[in-house]
Amino acid sequence: MASTVVLQSIRAFYNSGATRSYAFRKQQLKKLRQALLQHEEEIYKALYADLKKSREEAYLTELGLMLAEIRIMLKNLRQWMKPQPVATNLFNFASSSTIYRDPLGVVLVIAPWNFPLQLALMAAAGAIAGGNCVVIKPSELAPATAVLLQKIITAIFPPEYVYVAQGAGAEVVTEMMQSFRFDHIFFTGSPGVGGAIYALAAQKLVPVTLELGGKNPAIVEADADIDIAAKRIAVGKYTNSGQVCIAPDYVLVHASVKERLLKALTKAIKNFYGDDPVNSYDYGKIINRKRFDTLINYLRQGNIVAGGKYKADALFLEPTIMDGVSLESDLMKEEIFGPVLPVIPFETMEEALSVIAINPDPLALYLFTASSKKEQRWISTVPFGGGCINNTLVHFSNPALPFGGLGNSGMGSYHGEYSFKLFTRPKAVLKSPAWFDLSIKYPSFRGKLKMIKMILR
């Protein structure tokens, strides 16, 4: 837990101006990258201990994404930091206008447990690139990674610059936010907790970024390539045992191809994880017993088409497909966040839209179709954070795309340059010369209305 004394020392370090130069920011990003490479084996071990992630999945979804993000920042940071000249209107003739990007100050990053390394450090790297000081609160539900994060950060950064606050999430965050005014709070997690963070931040008018979850639909039109759709939905759903905020939460499939899709999904699962997924190198475990019990309860809320076996002592639940699910069930009202995939048929787009409307503003939407006309209709009709056409998850991996939600799925976006902009603010400056000084701008304004109207058009 970060005491008030620690937090005040972080404020003092930021106020010293030490974090603002390009050279300093670049050096810190390089130190972070080098530390991640040096601790690569420990990272794999920690992620396996917490979530049973394979080395390859750990690199693909955590370490590799972090290294790519830092690489993009190092390549572009100087350009991002440059003051940006903008146009000046006629009223301010002879003046010049410039936008500077200022750091926000001291930023609090509250990380979740499902991608405990990447989702802590992705935002922290953006804050570092923006010239801020950072307090990172890792999830206590992924303890091995939390301990390793503290080890890495403590070794490369002084505590008055980047600090890791350990402890029970709600207690630690509440105490810090009540005793200290952060300049920005970045939270990744559930909508319920996000709402509580938002309310607490509002008491001190602290701006927030909320990266939340939601029920993300995968829509399979009749003209989709069913085999491709099945493979990409399956890998998107069952990566990290479904514990992914942008995983397809449920499938809406045109009734004419439902049976084909169910067979193709079942085949894809077997091809990916074998006949005994509990022993699969590529398949993980549920984070804890509370989450496991919730997922097991979902199995009673429809027909199990494939999977459904589980081992409580190993926190293991097979990749599962279900149909015959009521839209009134908990399975269709709550974010599943696990390896259970309801498949719901539809006949018309309007019918499918009515299902999505039950849980509006999903964080992600995935559409499978060969029709560009259908593609544009879906994109223009449904509000969602981001998504893919004929794929799942991979929009997250492109740092040129902003990542974030809307409404119930969050506010604000980051990744790449969007992270830099998130953790800085635009400072507008207009510079006027002394040699040009129109009398029209000074009192008395009597009789000047016509001229004022002319130059303000």
Q: Which amino acid is residue 375, in one-letter code? A: E
Tell me if residue 260 falls in helix, strand or coil: helix
The CA distance from 418 to 432, in Å, is 31
Catalytic residue among 57, 69, 160, 211: 211
Are the C-beta atoms of 114 and 287 separated by less than 8 Å?
Answer: yes
Instruction: Say whether 211 is catalytic.
Output: yes
Are the C-beta atoms of 356 and 217 separated by less than 8 Å?
Answer: yes
Helices (H) and strands (E) in the chain, counts: 16, 20
What letter does residue 249 receive in the DSSP assignment?
-
Tell me if residue 283 falls in helix, strand or coil: coil
Are the C-beta atoms of 368 and 390 separated by less than 8 Å?
Answer: yes
The CA distance from 305 to 263, in Å, is 9
The candidate with the shortest Cα–Cα distance to 125, out of 156, 167, 84, 90, is: 156
Take residue 61 and report the two structure tokens written for it.
């979804």
Q: Which amino acid is residue 309, in one-letter code? A: K
Residue with tokens 């974030």: 404
Question: From the CB of residue 430, how many other CB atoms can be counted at a distance below 10 Å?
Answer: 12
Instruction: Say whether 388 is catalytic.
Output: no
Side-chain-side CA neighbours of residue 436 (13 Å): 9
Catalytic residue among 69, 133, 245, 318: 245
The CA distance from 148 to 154, in Å, is 10
Question: From the CB of residue 186, how many other CB atoms can be counted at a distance below 10 Å?
Answer: 29
Question: From the CB of residue 139, how many other CB atoms can be counted at a distance below 10 Å?
Answer: 23
The CA distance from 167 to 128, in Å, is 23
The candidate with the shortest Cα–Cα distance to 319, out of 357, 275, 289, 353, is: 275
Take residue 214 and report the two structure tokens written for it.
């939601």
Question: From the CB of residue 202, how many other CB atoms can be counted at a distance below 10 Å?
Answer: 11
Q: How many residues does the chain have?
A: 457
DSSP string computed for 295-346:
HHHHTTSSEEEE---EEGGGTEE--EEEES--TTSGGGTS---SSEEEEEEE
DSSP string computed for 395-436:
GGG-TTS-EE--GGGEE-EESTHHHHHHTEEEEEEEE--SS-
Take residue 312 and report the two structure tokens written for it.
């409580």
- Active site (catalytic) residues: 211, 245
